[in-house]
Amino acid sequence: MAPSLFNFKELRRRSKASFRTERSTDTSSDASNGTAPTTGSLTPPSIQHESDLALNLQLKDQAPPLPFARPPLQPYPNGASNRHSVSGMAGLGSPVQGGRAQSLPVSQYSPRIANVPDNSWVYQKVLLVYGTIGDPSQQSLDGILTVSRLDDSFPPTTWPVCDSHFKALVYMMPGVNRIRFDFASPKLANSGSTNPIHSSYLTIHMLPPINAPPLQLAILLAKDSPGTFDAVPARVEREGNGLETAIRKFRMAAYLWQAFTAEQMWRNKLGRRVFRFEEEWTMGTANQRDREQGTLRSEARIHVIRTERTVAELRDLDRAQQNPSAADQGALYGIAMDAVKDYFKPLPGQKLYVSVLLLDSHWDTASRTITGHAALGGGAGGLQLAVFGSHCLQSYPTSFEEVVPAFSDCTPTDTNYVGNDCNDAGSSWEAANIGIGAHLHETGHLLGLPHRESGIMLRDYVTLNRTFIAREAYSTRTRSKGGPVGLEDECTWHRLDCLAFRNHPCFRLPNDPVVNANEGVQAWAVEGGNVVVTAPSGLAYVEIYGDGDDVCHHWIEYPPPSENGNGQRQVSLSETELKSRLPEHQRKGGLKLNVKSNGGGELTIDDFGRLCSKESQFKLPSSVPGMGKTAYRGKKLGASQMEGSQPQELVFTSALRNDRVLSRIIFYHGMAMDGLEFVYDDDSRQLFGKRSGKAGGDSFEMDIRRGEYITGFLVRAGFWIDGIQVLTSLGRRSPMYGNPHGGSAHTLIPPRGYNICGVTGSFGPWVDGFSVLIINR
């Protein structure tokens, strides 16, 4: 008899054993619903998670252990499910992470993180966290919060807890970051033991946004600079004032910029997005242990750039600039820009964002002025640049351990060695505010921000310290003794700044939807006294300025782009609706708009009332009296301010007569647009601009057999019109005639329901103003 392939009795015996032992061993759900606990796992945690999974099969026939009783888990206050801690009983250890160990009561004094949920994703090197201990309304506790990584790849750091509130910085590494927060206070039993019992755990995922251009950091020195900065003798003795110290301090200041900005974006519900830095593999400087042990890390790179000027030249130049009647107020900024361009050597079309620290700034005790210093931000061409002096650098922290001491140091500013900038830096911590905060202000200008009604882009950076500490020290600026700091007391980025950052290239995240490459915005006067605003990349927001407004106080926001689209591409605006958003005393005055697109483009309408008035419309001639259509002029591109510039308006013959068809367009151009000639099927012609530039021009043929017509223009324009491309009803595009890299791109496509019926603008030596005429279909 052939042997049986199956032993049914043995199979049945094993099935019964398996049924008895393979009950659910996950007790977490039992604890949450109050049911009776089941038995523990047969496989020890270390085996279950680290060994061969086949070991479970080898243990099936073993008898299950006897169940043991355990106290149920206490519910988490306020749903803070990421808090794990042990009871206050001596000798008990911390809970086993990742295993199924006996659960113990959660401490009510475990730190509660308020701004970072468990398993969050972040995109920066340094993360700001804040929260509370227990219930601050019931009990006020002071103590120490210790932040540590479970893998010990960054040393533990301590942060003060004041009135049960804390703020801390956490160093992020790419990938999974498992962080532990321990609270200790002399008012609590056993909290000072070697086994902390008031603990919370947080898992954070960090993904570097390498798809975004970096904000470069650079220190600029004169060619004969000794590489030192102003500092009092005690500071020089303790930490030095050389180039290496300057690099550490500037890097730490940049990390504070990053942590502050990401937190502000998160509070404005725009994602935890922020600019990134170029990094290099170097000795870690963010903590003291790295410096002691020589640990290498990927840290923000500080470029060291030398100019062709001497220290004396830079300081003498700055003295001249401080004279209000000086011929060139921005000479030092220009020198910095030339040095940065020579160092980075950007390629054509490449855009750089560089924030520079001027190391040779110096407090001149004789003249009581800071020389070799400039506080400016902006850009020209492909370089966006911010510069700021080093006169407050001695007060900056160099590592995590020094952040709270730096923002709490009440040492008076000794003007025998260092300056008191604008009399707002009377103590060391206030000087740190001015230096770090004002440099961030100029970096805001670098990123395209104007001045605001509040926040960093006003002068609120004098309270930047409050973002990183829970209790403020005595202030010489306000003559106040300080005290606890709440979120409402902190410095901020204005809401409009955050909206601008949402669409800035430096703030793009890996999971952002692809935005239309055309960043342009265009405005069109239409019937009813309205203005239709269009943007291929979608509209972001509209800033509204009333009479006398230097900064924006009122604005309209539009939803951000979705994964499947570019957001709202067209909106209709009326003067009545816009003025209803202004205070009563401004509603009879003029109205100015600044419209921003999701692609980063903008359009300024200096006089909205004029654009939507009868000046922007006219009647087309018609053979039947009173039956002519109304044509509307779009918002003009170019300044129309070249020498000899004269206006011109051209209505297509094909828009006036049914027996004419546009057959081709001739472009006259060189490195700018000289003119356009529209040729019809009967060889009649209309010329806009001049027949100059390339001899004979370049011709673009229309497919008249298929009824092809012009649906829009892609225009590159700045002060004048650099280049023009035609878009047609068949989806075709002509080449870009003129300078394809000049100015910025603008797409002139009429709003829905309208067709192009002509062009309008102006020309001098070449075309310096251009728009289109539209009619309702």
Catalytic residue list: 442
Q: How far is CA 45 from CA 98, 134, 181, 200, 202, in A?
A: 8, 31, 24, 21, 21
Q: How many CB atoms lie within 10 A of CB 460?
A: 19
Quick one: the chain helix, strand, coil %, rounded to 5? 25, 30, 50
Cα torsion through 430, 432, 436, 441, rounded to 10: 10
Residues in contact with 139: Cβ distance below 8 Å, sequence separation at least 6, in sequence order:
164
- Report the DSSP pairing between strands 592-597 and 737-738: unpaired
Angstrom distance (rounded) from CA 190 to CA 182: 12
DSSP letter (8 states) at residue 67: P
Residue 676 contacts residue 759 (beta carbons within 8 Å): yes
Instruction: List the structure tokens of 543.
Output: 């800033």
Residue 720 contacts residue 672 (beta carbons within 8 Å): yes
Instruction: List the structure tokens of 416.
Output: 């025998």
Decide: helix, strand or coil at residue 409: coil
Instruction: List the structure tokens of 385.
Output: 């640049």
Q: How far is CA 770 from CA 123, 666, 718, 762, in A?
A: 42, 16, 11, 7
Paired with 715 in beta bridges are: 724, 746
DSSP string, 509-556: -TTSPPPPS----EEEE-GGGEEEEE-TT-EEEEEEE-TT-SS--EEE
Residue 722 contacts residue 701 (beta carbons within 8 Å): no
- Report the DSSP pairing between strands 673-680 and 685-689: antiparallel
Instruction: List the structure tokens of 8.
Output: 């049914």
Instruction: List the structure tokens of 270.
Output: 């725009």
Residues in contact with 582: Cβ distance below 8 Å, sequence separation at least 6, in sequence order:
544, 546, 554
Residue 433 contacts residue 466 (beta carbons within 8 Å): no
Residue 768 φ/ψ, nearest 5 degrees = -125, 10
Residue 275 contacts residue 214 (beta carbons within 8 Å): yes
Q: Provide the phi-psi class of 538: left if phi over 0, else alpha when psi is between -120 and 50, else beta.
A: left
- Report the DSSP pairing between strands 352-358 and 215-221: parallel
Residue 95 contacts residue 101 (beta carbons within 8 Å): yes
- Report the DSSP pairing between strands 199-206 and 120-122: parallel
Angstrom distance (rounded) from CA 662 to CA 704: 8
Q: How many CB atoms lie within 10 A of CB 645?
A: 19
Angstrom distance (rounded) from CA 43 to CA 165: 41
- Residue 452 CA, distance from chain mean position: 17
Residue 122 contacts residue 164 (beta carbons within 8 Å): no
Residue 376 contacts residue 337 (beta carbons within 8 Å): no
User: Whose CA is closest to 357, among 295, 443, 432, 272?
Assistant: 443
- Report the DSSP pairing between strands 279-283 and 530-534: unpaired
Paired with 364 in beta bridges are: 369
User: Whose CA is closest to 470, among 83, 144, 134, 135?
Assistant: 144
